[in-house]
Amino acid sequence: MQPFDWNLVRSFLAALEGGSLAAASRETGVSQPTLGRHIDELEKSLGVTLFERGRQGMLPTKAALHIAEAAREMKTASASLSMAAEGDAGSVCGTVRITASEIVATYLLPAILADLLRDLPEIQIELVASNTVENLLQRDADIAIRMVRPTQNDLITRKVGTMEMGIYADRIYIDRHGTVTDFDDMADHVIVGYDRNDLVIRGFAQLGFKVDRNFFRFRCDDQVTAFEALVAGTGIGFAPRILTRRHANLVRILPDIEIPGLPMWLTSHRELRTSARIRLVNDYIGDRLTELELG
């Protein structure tokens, strides 16, 4: 059994995930002809057809999907390896890549990062605002701040507080449509909500209120946009209480309804704890987030 060229696996994964050689080429920076040759070679050395090519992009065969799992394991292990090495390199200067939910990245982190950049002059920051859970094991980011506790192993997680939520509307909206004194009144109002995230719906279910998607008359994928819509007087909506303090015109509605708060988790790969640089940033952000008055 002679081993195959491990680099071919990287090209294979890129093609599989990109859906086409062209996409993979854009993603990886490797030229499209090279990627094509890599796939050819991998197919030859494994004796298996991996893609039906042509038409529109490359269509993975069953064999390709079968192989994919092991290929991702290789990628994960390679990321572990470079992380382990990074720890040994142990330099404090360089880039740290952070991912956070849209709300946190937009409204909470900038102030903290501004101070961090001032206090740690050798460090550069990349901030990715995204609600999709990046894969820390494959090092899509060094540090993640999320509202759900990560399930992957080998991650170091620290709870940095709970974001208390409330129901709010802008005074403009209240003046125009009257206030809400009872939960049942809300059926007559414009409710602002997120399109994809069913967190709020489940939250209501916990409280005994049955609502579905149609409960929200104004829906929006983007949490930041939804919050700004709330501030602009579009309707009634749910918002982290810490954000509403900055807007004097936001009025709390039905303060008696207890909405479960969102826990905030700061996460990084265990290997990264051996990297002085990332540990530094991790601790800095963690401390600052913990200090915030989230209630």
Please identify, using beta-carbon distances, which residue of 32 and 78 lies nearer to its own copies: 78
Please identify, using beta-carbon distances, which residue of 28 and 274 lies nearer to DNA: 28
| Partner from DNA, its own copies, none binding residue 59, C-beta < 5-8 Å depending on class | none
Site for DNA contains 75 (CB under 7 A): no
Site for DNA contains 37 (CB under 7 A): yes
Enumerate residues 6+ apart whose C-beta is below 8 A from 120: 280, 281, 284
Please identify, using beta-carbon distances, which residue of 21 and 163 lies nearer to DNA: 21
The residue from 33, 52, 89, 283 that contacts its own copies (CB under 8 A) is: 89
Closest separation in Å from C-beta 66 to its own copies: 5
- In order, the DSSP letters of 165-216 are EEEEEEHHHHHHH----SGGGGGGS-EEEESS--HHHHHHHHHT----GGG-
Enumerate residues 6+ apart whose C-beta is below 8 A from 74: 6, 9
- Token digits for 16? 């599989």
| CA gap 36, 32 in Å, rounded | 6
The residue from 23, 128, 129, 199 that contacts DNA (CB under 7 A) is: 23
Tell me the site size for DNA, rule CB under 7 A: 23
Strands 165-170 and 250-253: antiparallel
- Select from 61-69, 164-172, 187-195, 241-249 the region that touches its own copies (CB under 8 A): 61-69
Residues from 27 through 56 that contact its own copies (CB under 8 A)? 46-48
Residues forming contacts to DNA in the complex (CB under 7 A) are 5, 7, 15, 20-23, 29-34, 36-38, 41, 53-58
